[in-house]
Amino acid sequence: MPANRRTTLKDLARELGVSTATISNAFNRPDQLSPALRERILGTAKRLGYGGPDAKARSLRTGRSRIIAVILAESLTYSLNDAVASEFLSGVAEVLDNRGHTLLLLSSRQTQAQIPGSASMADGFIVYGLIPSLALLESLPSQSPLVSVDFDIAGRPTVHVDNEAACHAIAAHALRTPAKRPGIINLRLTATPLNGRISSDHRLLPPERTITRSRLSGFHRALGEAGVDTEQVPMWNIEENTFEVCAPVISEILDLPASERPDLLLCMSDRIALTVVTMAEQRGLRIPEDLRITGFDGIAEGQYRAPRLTTVRQNSVEKGRIAARIILGLAPAEPSLLATELLIADSCP
Amino acid sequence: MPANRRTTLKDLARELGVSTATISNAFNRPDQLSPALRERILGTAKRLGYGGPDAKARSLRTGRSRIIAVILAESLTYSLNDAVASEFLSGVAEVLDNRGHTLLLLSSRQTQAQIPGSASMADGFIVYGLIPSLALLESLPSQSPLVSVDFDIAGRPTVHVDNEAACHAIAAHALRTPAKRPGIINLRLTATPLNGRISSDHRLLPPERTITRSRLSGFHRALGEAGVDTEQVPMWNIEENTFEVCAPVISEILDLPASERPDLLLCMSDRIALTVVTMAEQRGLRIPEDLRITGFDGIAEGQYRAPRLTTVRQNSVEKGRIAARIILGLAPAEPSLLATELLIADSCP
DNA sequence: TTGTAGGCGTTATCAC
DNA sequence: GTGATAACGCCTACAA
């Protein structure tokens, strides 16, 4: 037994003159052996610096690692700095933590096109958001539980919010006060990347797999019901939900001549809406008199300072909790649809 | 070979009539066998649904998992929603991703007092922030590389920012314009939890292990140099860097009678400083005329909207990168001290 | 270029 | 209540 080797269960067994099975039981099934012996084992374990069964060996033997992987559609950098994704992860982490599991963070946008092999150690996978290609998932063990969030994978359980209904509700609310020039700011809606005005030339992402398409349907339905010709409603697209990417597009909108500038902007995220608020204030536009704004998500930041955002609150933390429960087998592996809540505040009373 | 078992390297070898070593080489050392054979192996692997060597078995055999764990001092919920921690994690993730490693997220504040056993599968550990007790780390494999960030662990490499110097610099800048009633808002400085005014009865955390003590030293040194009696400078403490926790304490400060209300507030984080800005505006206080405010961290949010925050920028992303490089052995395992940058803006010109 | 065999540290299934 | 033994799936000398 070389001194610089980690002590193993076998070393302990030899030291104590008992079998390896007994040591294993001492750690995993206390009821399977006498308290006295167990005490003795745990004692000398501590003395020899044995910290319990090796996780790698145990995972090979049992087939389970107690690790759950979350595969994020966006980059880690983006996701970690996005309030909605962070809340989702909080929800996941909360449940995992409670059940002694840990969280492995992966992104579908890594330098390596494939998901690292080490990921397949996970006992289950939560896929958050529309990933660029389902081919990514092929390297994952096909037997492991997998749940998708905010989009669908055939034959797998899903956690969703009813985006269409929520967007219909908030647009209907907004249109109760007639808008002369409504406009829509979309989040990653076009088939090819675009930051700017969407023209009829642009193709959009396929409707069945994309929450932003559902959100747009909701907006359009409400606009139609209000007698607005949706064809005439200008739309802009934003690729990433960050200040840096939003700002130029929003400048473009707010710097239109007053006769063309929208007086109502339906935004697909609070981040976008908040940036509109900030930039509108910089230009001396009054909210809501000159410009009404709605968001989506209900992030905390939108409710802190005046004008508070009119938005749809989706419970991202709960989405995370549910996804985690499904993966751990604590909830049935079936599609789950969460309710949203309309938050009416200053930006569009 | 039962149908419902995952196909293994051995199955593949049998199927092809070659040895297991050859299959292993086909995946791990392409140069060790003829391209033709390799092609054939990879082909039938795909056909049989063999997705490459099993990560659990491989990790047992090689002793490495290609997983790096980050142990966060704060809860996951807090850390994920905190801009500074998120940036740090981005930096870590960036380097790990580049080297084919993945990120396991742990918190020292889990429901279980101990770190889950599965964590010890990691090849290395990055400890971010002052954890409640070093005993937590005892369950970790003592041989694995470990680096601490923003605090010290004896005998381990560390990544730090020079908090004392940075805080001296920003306070010295602020005091170039004399302050009648300077005040300090600290972040987790007292030995026992406190949200409110610090009196002389309160004990503070030990200076050698706490960045907030270093920051306070910097403030005090600058105040002393400006001829201010630091004993007379009121201090408040905040336990958590969130709006909800900050707001009541800040109310208490701003609602003091005008003759007692500070006209300069040195804050230990941008989050605190931004909350001061928001709440001061709500009360009609002018910044910087009635109240000057400094922050710490240099988070993006502080630079977006007017008044922009005067603060110290610390490069959290780079901290993460360095910690990850040390863990992966790409950088020497020695203490690293990052420079900070004074950002002078509207809130304290 | 390919094959053989031993072992990584553990747990499950039996016996006793 | 305790012990022997066979996997778990893979990697890597070393031999051929």
B117 touches chain A (CB under 8 A): yes
Q: What is the pLDDT of residue B305?
A: 79
Q: Is the pLDDT of residue B274 over 60?
A: yes
Q: Is the pLDDT of residue B3 over 50?
A: no
Q: Is the pLDDT of residue A24 over 90?
A: no
B271 touches chain A (CB under 8 A): no
pLDDT range class, residue A266, cuts 50, 70, 90: very high
**Among the ranges given (A164-168, A175-179, B18-22, B91-95), the one the predictor scored with the smallest mean pLDDT:** B18-22
**Integer Cα distance of A181 and A190 in angstroms:** 22
Contact assessment for residue A78 and residue A107, using Cβ atoms and an 8 Å cutoff: no
Give the residue extent of every domain in chain A. 9-53, 67-160, 163-314+338-343
DSSP string, A218-260: HHHHHHHHTT--GGGS-EEEESSSSHHHHHHHHHHHHTS-TTT
Angle, CA B47 vertex, CA B43 and CA B53 arms, to 5°:
75
Write down the residue that tokens 């809130």 correspond to: B347
Q: Is the pLDDT of residue B4 over 70?
A: no
Ramachandran angles phi, psi of A69, nearest 5°: -100, 140
Residues of B in contact with A58 (CB under 8 A): 117
Residues of B in contact with A282 (CB under 8 A): 306
Contacts A–B by Cβ distance under 8 A: 167
Q: Which of residues 30-59 of A touch strand C (CB under 7 A)?
A: 52-54, 57-58
Q: What is the pLDDT of residues B137-166, one digit of tens each?
A: 888 888 899 999 999 999 999 999 999 999
**Residue–nucleotide distance: B59 CA to D15 C1' (Å):** 26
Q: What is the pLDDT of residues B197-218, one digit of tens each?
A: 999 899 998 887 789 999 999 9
Max CA pair span of chain A? 90
* Fold that domain A9-53 belongs to in CATH: 434 Repressor (Amino-terminal Domain) (1.10.260)
Nearest to A105 among B94, B100, B103 (CB): B103
Q: Is the pLDDT of residue B2 over 70?
A: no
pLDDT range class, residue A82, cuts 50, 70, 90: very high
Q: What is the pLDDT of residue B40?
A: 85
Overall average pLDDT of the B118-147 stretch:
92
**Integer Cα distance of B322 and B83 in angstroms:** 18
Q: What is the pLDDT of residues A111-127, one digit of tens each?
A: 777 889 899 999 999 99
B100 touches chain A (CB under 8 A): yes
Contact assessment for residue A141 and residue A317, using Cβ atoms and an 8 Å cutoff: no
Shortest CA gap A331–chain B (Å): 21
pLDDT range class, residue B275, cuts 50, 70, 90: very high
Q: What is the pLDDT of residues A288-331, one digit of tens each?
A: 999 999 999 999 888 887 899 999 999 999 999 999 999 999 99
Burial class (CB in 10 A: 0-12, 13-18, 19+), B246: buried
Overall average pLDDT of the A52-73 stretch:
93
Residue A107, beta-bridge partner list: A72
Nearest to B117 among A55, A90, A117 (CB): A55
Find the helix packing angle between A20-28 and A9-16, rounded to 10°. 110
Q: Which residue is nearest to nucleotide C2 (CA to C1')?
A: B22
Q: What is the pLDDT of residues A200-247, one digit of tens each?
A: 899 998 887 789 999 999 999 999 999 999 999 999 999 999 999 999
Q: Is the pLDDT of residue B81 over 60?
A: yes
Which of helix, strand or coil describes residue B102? strand
Pick the CATH number of B163-314+338-343 from 3.40.50.720, 3.30.300.20, 1.20.1250.20, 3.40.50.2300: 3.40.50.2300
Shortest CA gap A104–chain B (Å): 4
**Integer Cα distance of B109 and A315 in angstroms:** 23
Domain A67-160 has CATH 3.40.50.2300: yes
B284 touches chain A (CB under 8 A): no
Q: Could you tell me which of A7, A83, A116, A73 has the C-alpha nearest to residue B65? A: A116
Q: Is the pLDDT of residue B293 over 90?
A: yes
pTM: 0.93
Write down the residue that tokens 């140099």 correspond to: B225
Max CA pair span of chain B? 90
Q: What is the pLDDT of residue B104?
A: 97
Instruction: State the alpha helices, DSSP H only, in chain A.
Output: 9-16, 20-28, 35-48, 55-62, 76-81, 83-98, 163-175, 211-225, 243-254, 270-282, 301-304, 316-327
Q: Is the pLDDT of residue B55 over 70?
A: yes
Which of helix, strand or coil describes residue B123? coil
Shortest CA gap B24–chain A (Å): 14
The reply to whether B67-160 and B163-314+338-343 are identical in fold is yes
**B314 membership: H or E segment, kind and range:** strand B311-314
pLDDT range class, residue B5, cuts 50, 70, 90: low
Overall average pLDDT of the B319-342 stretch:
96
**Integer Cα distance of B167 and B155 in angstroms:** 27
| Close Cβ partners of A270 (under 8 Å, ≥ 6 residues apart) | A83, A295, A296, A297, A298, A299, A301, A302, A309, A311
Amino acid in position A313: R
**Integer Cα distance of A44 and A67 in angstroms:** 29
**Residue–nucleotide distance: A15 CA to C15 C1' (Å):** 24
Share of chain A above pLDDT 70, in %: 99
Overall average pLDDT of the A92-99 stretch:
94
**Integer Cα distance of A239 and A74 in angstroms:** 11
Contact assessment for residue A126 and residue A70, using Cβ atoms and an 8 Å cutoff: yes
Q: Is the pLDDT of residue B260 over 70?
A: yes
**Integer Cα distance of A197 and A250 in angstroms:** 10
**Residue–nucleotide distance: A9 CA to D5 C1' (Å):** 16
Q: What is the pLDDT of residues B302-327, one digit of tens each?
A: 888 789 999 999 999 999 999 999 99
CA R_g for chain A? 26
Q: What is the pLDDT of residue B217?
A: 95
Instruction: State the alpha helices, DSSP H only, in chain B.
Output: 9-16, 20-28, 35-48, 55-62, 76-81, 83-98, 163-175, 211-225, 243-254, 270-282, 301-304, 316-327
Q: Is the pLDDT of residue B230 over 50?
A: yes
Q: What is the pLDDT of residues B158-198, one digit of tens each?
A: 999 999 999 999 999 999 999 999 999 999 999 999 999 99
| Close Cβ partners of A57 (under 8 Å, ≥ 6 residues apart) | B60
Q: Is the pLDDT of residue A4 over 70?
A: no
**Residue–nucleotide distance: B40 CA to C3 C1' (Å):** 18
Shortest CA gap A106–chain B (Å): 7
